[in-house]
């Protein structure tokens, strides 16, 4: 594409045409459809142009073009049907700062004018980059035949009805409503009873649609996994494909958000550890609000939604509002983190149970059964454990844990910027603070990176030294 199609704002701006013959007339027929201020500079102007000037539809300067004539113009057409004169006026217009088109001279033109199907405010521009004007005209004719002449009128009336139609659930229902209007109901109304029949027809259609859709939306509570988009489940992917609204956590990676349906409304309900950017109750209310409008909501949570995800509060809110929901599981941070250090969460003869624990809860540092956790061989995956590290370290040592117990912190597990910090309980702090991790990190108590893995990751670990 050597020419990029855009719709340029011309309301109240100047468009200047140099030339008064056929070429100028052809352009003027198009330009006069706009709300721009049109000026024609021509020593000799065709009668039609003079008539338009007399009617006040354009301003005619009845002489050859001079410097300043195209001052403040957004667009300029050189349409003198004379190469030398066109080149001269194009230079002048350039100097005046206008974008220049020289009729029938693609090479020296800064823009070209497409073939236009005008159903204002619906305007279709067809371009072939000068390669096949005949083809452009044929496509234009086809489209003109296909699009009812009333389309522009319908679009204008439709626009005034947009707010009223917003009572319809977002998504399929609303799209189907408008499709039915433009394809069937609108053209029929205009044809049988004229413009005045359109709004009543819209009102009837809206009533029918509302009656047919008295149902609420649906919420998928979806696990987005630890960050790597390939660790998303197929079910999660499908849910994102059809979502009308995606309400996501701060931790959900950008690559994953980009997989959502293009038209989906994306809402960041991001929360930071401790203090919340958005209170849980507000998030609950937001999810319910969109679902009640009929939207298919995807509530996208990092990792697995059932692990430290405050899922039950959201489900309670949905149940209270009578909204249907389902849980789509995801890969939790502990699974991704343990994979990255080549270890198992459980191991015969070492630990027959593993704990998922949080470093802090809504009340502050979380308390745990430290005595049990201090026993040799225990394995725990500590979520949200960065700030609580010193507290956890102190409690465990106080309860008799071996200071040499391996502790591994994995930051940004499964992401490109993953970092692994291998240490011991005795060294956990200040090692962790000194490392200055900024991403989400999972701490394993009782696990060290497997030797082979540790070797390949020494670089990572040394970054913290």
Question: Under the criterion CB under 6 A, does residue 150 sit at the interface with ligand SAH?
Answer: no
Selected binder of ligand SAH within 389, 410, 428, 435 (CB under 6 A) = 410
* Residue 449 is a binding residue for ligand SAH (CB under 6 A): no
Q: What angle is formed at CA 83 by the lines to CA 80 and CA 87, rounded to 5 degrees? A: 90
Given the complex with ligand SAH, which of 217 and 226 has the nearer CB atom? Answer: 226
The full DSSP string for 326-378 is EEE----HHHHHHHHTT--SSBTTTBS-EEEEESEETTEEPP--HHHHTSTT-
Candidate residues 318, 384, 388, 396; the one interacting with ligand SAH per rule CB under 6 A: 384
User: Near ligand SAH by CB under 6 A, which window of 95-103, 140-148, 307-315, 429-437?
Assistant: 307-315
Give Dmax (Cα) for the chain.
103
Q: How far is CA 457 from CA 110, 379, 421, 424, 461, in A?
A: 55, 21, 9, 17, 6
The reply to whether 440 sits near ligand SAH by the rule CB under 6 A is yes
Alpha-carbon distance of 420 to 411, in angstroms, equals 6
Kindly state whether residue 333 participates in binding ligand SAH, applying the rule CB under 6 A. yes
Residues 6+ positions from 255 with CB-CB distance below 8 Å? 227, 229
Residue closer to ligand SAH by CB (options 216, 307) is 307
Is 270 within 8 Å of 250 (Cβ atoms)?
A: yes
- Asked if 231 touches ligand SAH (CB under 6 A), the answer is no
413 binds ligand SAH (CB under 6 A): yes
Instruction: Give me the torsion for CA of 113, 117, 123, 125, rounded to 10°.
Output: -40
Quick check: 328 binds ligand SAH (CB under 6 A)?
A: no
Select from 221, 337, 407, 432 the one that contacts ligand SAH (CB under 6 A). Answer: 337
Shortest Cβ 238–ligand SAH spacing (Å): 20
Residue listed under structure tokens 């996208």: 300
Kindly name the residue from 96, 220, 228, 249 that is annotated as catalytic.
249
Backbone angles phi, psi at 325, to 5 degrees: -150, 160
Nearer to ligand SAH among residue 28 and residue 441 (C-beta): 441
Q: Which is nearer to ligand SAH, 201 or 413 (CB)?
A: 413
Write down the least CB distance from residue 307 to ligand SAH, Å: 4
In the complex with ligand SAH, which residue's Cβ is closer, 27 or 386? 386
Question: Please, what is the minimum distance in Å from the beta carbon of residue 249 to ligand SAH?
Answer: 8
Per-residue tokens: 436 = 């200055």
* DSSP state, residue 113: P
Q: 14 vs 419, which CB is nearer to ligand SAH?
A: 419
Shortest distance, position 233 Cβ to ligand SAH, whole Å? 13
Q: Please report whether residue 309 would count as binding ligand SAH according to CB under 6 A.
A: yes
In the bound state with ligand SAH, the residue whose beta carbon lies nearer, of 337 and 422, is 337
Per the CB < 8 A criterion, the answer to whether 236 and 223 are in contact is: yes
What is the separation, in whole angstroms, between the first and last Cα of the chain? Answer: 52
Among 417, 392, 419, smallest CA distance to 408 is for 419
Q: Is 271 a catalytic residue?
A: yes
Region from 54-62, 275-283, 300-308, 448-456 binding ligand SAH, contact rule CB under 6 A: 300-308
Compute, in degrees rounded to 10, the torsion defined by CA atoms 51, 57, 59, 64: -50
Choosing from 252, 297, 366, 442, the residue that interacts with ligand SAH (CB under 6 A) is: 442
Residue 118: partners with Cβ closer than 8 Å, 6 or more residues away: 33, 152
Q: Among 108, 65, 79, which residue's Cα sits nearest to residue 21?
A: 79
Establish if 226 lies at the interface with ligand SAH (CB under 6 A): yes
Residue least distant from ligand SAH (Cβ): 303
Residue 104 is among the residues annotated as catalytic for this protein: no
Single out the residue of 298, 227, 290, 233 nearest to residue 261, CA to CA: 298
Nearest residue (CB) to ligand SAH, 96 versus 411: 411
Helix H or strand E encompassing 84: helix 83-95
CB of 231 to ligand SAH, least distance (A): 9
Binders of ligand SAH among residues 237 to 256 (CB under 6 A) are 251
Q: Which stretch binds ligand SAH (CB under 6 A): 26-34, 106-114, 179-187, 436-444?
A: 436-444
Q: Which residues bind ligand SAH (CB under 6 A)?
A: 226-227, 251, 301-304, 307-309, 332-333, 337, 383-384, 410, 412-415, 440-442
Instruction: Please give the positions annotated as active site.
Output: 249, 271
């Amino acid at each position: 594409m050597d020419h990029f199609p855009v719709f340029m704002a011309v309301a109240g701006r100047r468009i200047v045409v140099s030339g008064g013959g056929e070429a100028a007339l052809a352009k003027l027929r198009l330009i006069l459809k706009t709300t721009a201020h049109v000026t024609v500079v021509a020593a000799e102007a065709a009668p039609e142009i003079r008539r338009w000037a007399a009617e006040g539809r354009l301003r005619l300067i009845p002489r050859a073009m001079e410097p300043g004539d195209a001052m403040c113009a957004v667009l300029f057409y050189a349409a003198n049907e004379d190469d030398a004169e066109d080149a001269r006026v194009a230079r002048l217009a350039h100097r005046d700062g206008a974008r220049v088109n020289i009729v029938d001279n693609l090479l020296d033109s800064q823009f070209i004018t497409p073939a236009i199907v005008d159903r204002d405010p619906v305007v279709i521009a067809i371009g072939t980059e000068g390669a096949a004007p005949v083809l452009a005209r044929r496509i234009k004719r086809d489209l003109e035949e296909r699009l009812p002449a009333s389309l522009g009128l319908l679009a204008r009336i439709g626009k005034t009805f947009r707010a009223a139609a917003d009572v319809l659930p977002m998504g399929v229902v609303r799209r189907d409503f408008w499709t039915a209007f433009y394809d069937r109901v609108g053209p029929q109304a205009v044809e049988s009873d004229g413009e005045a029949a359109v709004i009543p027809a819209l009102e009837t259609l809206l009533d029918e649609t509302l009656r047919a859709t008295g149902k609420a939306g649906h919420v998928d509570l979806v696990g987005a996994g630890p960050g790597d988009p390939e660790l998303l489940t197929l079910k999660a992917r499908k849910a994102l494909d059809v979502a009308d609204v995606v309400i996501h956590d701060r931790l959900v990676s950008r690559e994953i958000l980009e997989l959502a349906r293009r038209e989906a409304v994306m809402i960041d309900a991001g929360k930071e550890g401790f203090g919340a950017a958005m209170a849980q109750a507000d998030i609950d209310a937001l999810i319910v609000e969109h679902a009640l409008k009929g939207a298919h909501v995807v509530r996208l949570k990092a990792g697995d939604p059932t692990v430290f995800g405050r899922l039950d509060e959201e489900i309670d809110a949905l149940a209270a509002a009578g909204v249907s929901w389902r849980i789509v599981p995801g890969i939790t941070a502990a699974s991704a983190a343990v994979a990255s250090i080549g270890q198992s969460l459980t191991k015969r003869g070492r630990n027959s149970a593993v704990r998922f624990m949080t470093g802090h809860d809504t009340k502050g540092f979380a308390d745990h059964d430290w005595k049990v956790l201090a026993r040799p061989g225990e394995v725990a995956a500590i979520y949200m454990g960065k700030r609580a590290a010193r507290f956890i370290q102190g409690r465990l040592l106080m309860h008799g844990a071996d200071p040499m117990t391996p502790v591994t912190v994995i930051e940004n597990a499964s992401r490109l910027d993953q970092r692994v910090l291998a240490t011991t309980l005795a060294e956990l702090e200040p090692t962790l603070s000194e490392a200055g991790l900024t991403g989400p990190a999972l701490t394993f108590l009782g696990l060290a990176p497997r030797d082979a893995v540790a070797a390949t990751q020494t670089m990572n670990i040394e970054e913290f030294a």
